Structure 1
């Protein structure tokens, strides 16, 4: 029973981390997947493959090497090209990923600000300030506290997303064929941003790339501190819910593409199609989803420069949260997602190239050792 509970905790944490502002608001689902119309499934297939492989690798190598800080996993992968190049690449990815995760935290603040303003008409910045206060309070408790918080919220969020997207997918079915054609010919390209420049594979690679940089340090450190089979089972279960939900969301969004293409928060548009009360509840769920991603993102950025429990860690958490909140209040949310996620996603995909080579060499080396013993 304890093992099953731990699997569910890790699965819930992975779901919570992945969802975030972009997924919960469905803005990133629009830009990466639904914007490809009838080819959205290609994007999802590419992202799912990257998510499963890279996270299995992070957890496995983190566990095998007993790493003490998640960011150390980059040294492992980058070392495949020799000590000199490997050292330079490791330093780059270690610092860059920490910065990227921190800037992704800024995106979460922007998502909270847009959600609260669009749904309740509150002044710009109120949502970001409220989110920042909650995130700082959670990150101060460290990794164990983060896992406990995320594992409880994630399943609730994904269920609510599935409910809203499933209902609106059904109501949008009469328009799905016509709307897919409209998206395919670029009818909404002037109001709907698209990552990948028309290539669903490139979009999937970019999407998967930024997921790599999100999960690298997080899952490597979880893998190092828990039973490997438990971590991997939890992650695989999370993938079923995440990409199943993404598929349903795409169908719902395309079915109502005339309403959601230009919206900051497409999820609220869909929820309002069902009921204003559902929309009110879903706005809260979006904020919860934003919170669950913002916490580990800020933690990853702070963890790079400070050890948990130290005064430096606490100061960096508080200052980092405040600065990120200020940035989010002055930079448009949609612009943050499109530029930040798109550019950094491709760099994450470069890291996966290193990972494939490292894992292949490690596997071959392991087989050779077994052969010599025999």
Structure 2
């Protein structure tokens, strides 16, 4: 794979990973960003800054230390707390991130259920089962197979999201300013769930924080197995597309807030503003977005418990997929996003403090020619 192809593949994979059920349905955009009305840009900028710093750090340290497993990155960062506390903290983050990724996979199954039921009237459960089968089959092929699959789908998803958002931003522009005022006044507070308790900085920290534990193992292992320059450029490009799209989505959602505030799948409401045909096409795109996030999420959880290619790895993949699918059929989708993403966002942001301390210490050590590459890694 040449350099340009590698960069584009990594960019596409990062976009695909980030744009899962929450983003593709725009439910998380409503809860984290649009619900803040005139302050939504603050949330986007905070989240973007966290995304860029943490992912560069993951890839850089994964590459520098040549980690065998992406989850070992927690031991690297938590080593700043000292041997005993660091080991306990690393173990907590390693296991919690695997658990959270598994529960996020459950969220994706819930999104698939809601999408197929809302758009096509499919019996509840069909979406989760279909998604689980596709994800399990992909995860069985391991990390490189996942990157290959995701890299081709991501750009298509972001293009469709931008198309629908741009068109509905134009059609709703006349209502945009008035709707911003309504949101700021709390008009939709009873139907529109919000992360951050009214604080856009807290919402941005939570939004940037929840993907920290999504991307930690994924980017660290990609960094270890690929050219660092390719990984970082690909990730930077993904950030531009992702957060630009988030801003446009907010404008579109706010312009049509009367219809989108209480919707389970706000993106479909916007698509239907254009035409029923576009709504059908966008429902397919949402399903693709759900698949592209669900796949690496399940991989991250399973990878903690088994090595790729082993019988144990394949068995756990099938079992975890079945259990996650079952949970999604009994827990409401909107509540899953609000509680799970919010909690993980704050815990993920705690990790940032250890990351900053480690990166500063490493920079100083490298500057003085002293580097301890194994510090904090529990091998």
TM-score, scaled to structure 1: 0.98
Matched with 1:150 is 150
Matched with 2:178 is 178
Matched with 2:288 is 288
Q: 1:352, 1:101 → 2: CA distance?
A: 18
SS at match of 1:123: coil
Q: 2:189, 2:214 → 1: CA distance?
A: 28
Q: 1:274, 1:2 → 2: CA distance?
A: 40
Runs of 4+ in 1 over 6 A off after TM superposition: none
Post-superposition Cα deviations, 1:255-313, rounded to whole Å, max 9, x if no partner, equal 00000000000000000000000000000000000000000000000000000000000
Q: 1:367, 1:220 → 2: CA distance?
A: 23
Q: 2:181, 2:364 → 1: CA distance?
A: 47
Q: 2:10, 2:98 → 1: CA distance?
A: 22
SS at match of 1:198: coil
**By percentage of residues, which structure has more helix?**
1
Post-superposition Cα deviations, 1:82-121, rounded to whole Å, max 9, x if no partner, equal 1011000000000000000000000000000000000001
1:369 deviates by: 2.1
Matched with 2:298 is 298
Matched with 1:323 is 323
Post-superposition Cα deviations, 1:45-88, rounded to whole Å, max 9, x if no partner, equal 00000000000000000000000001000000000011011000
Matched with 1:111 is 111
Q: 1:321, 1:211 → 2: CA distance?
A: 21
Matched with 1:57 is 57
Q: 1:353, 1:30 → 2: CA distance?
A: 28
Q: 1:360, 1:181 → 2: CA distance?
A: 43
1:368 deviates by: 1.9
Matched with 2:265 is 265
RMSD: 0.7
Matched with 2:247 is 247
SS at match of 1:369: coil
SS at match of 1:262: coil
Matched with 1:122 is 122
Q: 2:131, 2:27 → 1: CA distance?
A: 19
Unaligned runs of 5+ in 2: 371-379
